[in-house]
Amino acid sequence: MAAPKQNLKREKLAADIRRELGGSRTTRFLHAMPAFKITAEMPDYLRQLLDRLEDCETPAQSRRR
């Protein structure tokens, strides 16, 4: 069991991280990054990869039954 002093440090660290992640500067930064932008459509190559993955998984699922 962790000492009470360590628990307080962990709680403070968790609160600090939550505050930083929820801050307006972090939010603006993440919205500017392309990986965090929402797109309405999926690129064709990703759709093809997902279709291939689904085709591979279907036989494996039927063998388990």
**14-61 pLDDT per residue, tens:** 999 888 888 888 888 888 887 766 667 888 998 899 899 989 887 766
Given a cut of 90, is residue 12 above it in pLDDT? yes
Entry field: residues in the chain: 65
The two tokens of residue 47 are 């759709």
| pLDDT of the residue at 43 | 87
Predicted model pTM: 0.39
| pLDDT of the residue at 64 | 60
User: What span, in angstroms and rounded, lies between the C-alpha atoms of 53 and 6?
Assistant: 45
